[in-house]
Chains A and B, each alone.
Chain A
Amino acid sequence: EVQLVESGGGLVKPGGSLRLSCAASGFTFSSYSMNWVRQAPGKGLEWVSSISSSSSYIYYADSVKGRFTISRDNAKNSLYLQMNSLRAEDTAVYYCARDLLVHFDYWGQGTLVTVSS
């Protein structure tokens, strides 16, 4: 059974940093591109970042470019999102999602990030 479990969310002050993790199991993690997708409270879904299976290709939404860094450790079956210079508008539930080329077939349950003073 495919499982994606996010962790690392919490309350952080504007300008602060946070590192999210996603632990994957039930599939060959090193064979799939992975993504972070977020959802602000009461709002819709927003794609944040994507990383290819071998980390060769990395892409970001304009809203986070230069502030967020996606990475992965295939030996640990883990996906990460380093978030710096956080803003109030980054407040959201952050989901990791497995990428089946052009859509997301499995999602974690999400971790809440709150940016507030």
Chain B
Amino acid sequence: EIVLTQSPGTLSLSPGERATLSCRASQSVSSSYLAWYQQKPGQAPRLLIYGASSRATGIPDRFSGSGSGTDFTLTISRLEPEDFAVYYCQQYGSSPPSFTFGPGTKVDIK
């Protein structure tokens, strides 16, 4: 079973700053199988990035994803007030089919 680790646990930044979130897998993950979600308090998660680097519909281009193998990154180029939230990475495992989430990174206002 692949385990996802996210770092840092909390990232304290100011609006306008750049945020770099890391997701590390215990084994190599196909880039096609790596996604990122944003969750705000009291809300359902929202898909941001799929296939490691493709933005979901309606997601602003300040969000970008990159990486391969065991190391993946979500970057928010310039934080907007609405971007302060928890971010989860997720991978799909095919044998047997299952989905695993990382523990999350909270981006809060400094």
- Give me the interface of A with B, judged by CB distance under 8 Å: 35, 37, 44-47, 50, 57, 59, 61, 95, 100-110
Contact = CB atoms under 8 A, between A and B. Distances in A.
B60 interface: no
Given A103-B47, A107-B44, A45 B101 contact: yes
Interface SS of A by simple majority: strand
B67 interface: no
Nearest to A109: B44
B102 A47 contact: no
Given A44-B103, A45-B101, A105 B47 contact: yes
B56 A105 contact: yes
Interface SS of B by simple majority: strand
Contacts of B50: 100, 102-103, 105
Contacts of B98: 47, 50, 59, 61
A33 to B, nearest CB: 9
B64 interface: no
A15 B45 CA distance: 29
A59 B96 contact: yes
A46 B99 CA distance: 8
B35 A103 contact: yes
A95 B44 contact: yes
Interface in B84-98: 88, 90, 92, 96-98
A93 to B, nearest CB: 9
Contact of A47 (B43, B44, B100): B100
Contact of A59 (B35, B46, B97): B97
B101 A47 contact: yes
